[in-house]
Amino acid sequence: MDRSALHTKGLWALAAISFFWGTTWFVSKLTIAEIPPLQLTGYRQSLAGLLLILFHYFKSKSWPTFKEIGFHLILGFLFFTCSNGLTTFAIKYIPSFLGALIGCLMPFVMILANFVFYKEKVKPIVLLALLIGFGGVAIILLSFNKEIEAGGNFLFGVLITLLSVFTWTCGTLISTKNKLNINPFQGIGWQMLLGGIMLYISSILIEHQVPVSSISFKAWGYFFYLTAIGSIFCFVCYLFALKTLPLSLVSIYVYINPMVALGLGMLILHEKVTPQIVLGAFITFLGIYLVKRYSR
């Protein structure tokens, strides 16, 4: 296939993840009304991971080594058990679009983590961008002053979403520093499966399990959407986009996902969206842009 055709397919893959990953926030919110969040994500990632592993095996007839499985176990725990599990758990208590907006702070946390763990210098303009971005988030959170004053669950949801950003950042740092020559399509399957199994075990220990027989057809429809589109299709598109497009271009999905989540949350879930939230989102996106523009 010529380079122009690959580039075009990469753009379609980028468009897919920009939109469909944004939809998973509100679909998850709808699903956890019936299926507990850890049980949902455990089912979802285990099934998606198993299907990706089987597809890759029948295609290449190869299995990872024990060392590679250990590596996937660590990343599965950070990416899926912690990050995906925590964000899904958090939207029980906060609007789905707020989870998406907080999730897009990952570039900020990456800058701070590289400074703390690897002593990478932070340029003054990047420091200013961080302050702008966090200021935008503060404006958004202050629009929920009634929920904050009530304390309890809302703040808990915000905190565990921030924790999910930290665990995703840790997984990203580990994956970028590793020297193993791993097929990413095989790797993501194992990480989903292992992370999903740990999620399901966590669900058994923490949540009241909902029997499979009592789950409605509507909830099963949401579940299969999250599995087929949110986990399998979007991750394959993401990896393909990374192979065929510049990273700077692929990263625009970070801006689009929260806007899709915000629009759908407002239209379908009737989540509160005020001018203050829109202003805070704009300032946050400005900070993200400046961080990406002026940092490595």
Average pLDDT of the chain is 89
Residue-wise pLDDT for 223-245, tens only, equals 999 999 999 999 999 988 888 88
The domains of the chain are located at: 3-294
For residue 296, what pLDDT band results from cuts at 50, 70 and 90?
low
Residue-wise pLDDT for 94-126, tens only, equals 999 999 989 888 888 888 888 888 788 888 888
Q: Are 105 and 291 in contact (CB under 8 A)?
A: no
User: pTM for the complete prediction?
Assistant: 0.89
Q: Is 211 left (phi over 0), alpha (psi -120 to 50) or beta?
A: beta
Q: Which own/partner contact pairs does 241-250 have at CB distance under 8 Å and 24+ positions apart? A: 241/10, 241/13, 241/14, 241/17, 243/10, 244/6, 244/7, 244/9, 244/10, 244/13, 245/7, 245/10, 245/11, 245/14, 248/292, 249/14, 250/14
Residue-wise pLDDT for 175-217, tens only, equals 877 767 777 888 899 999 999 999 999 999 998 889 998 999 9
pLDDT over 70 (residue 51): yes
Full DSSP string of 207-224: S-PPPGGGS-HHHHHHHH
| pLDDT score, position 59 | 82
Residue-wise pLDDT for 55-71, tens only, equals 888 887 778 888 889 99
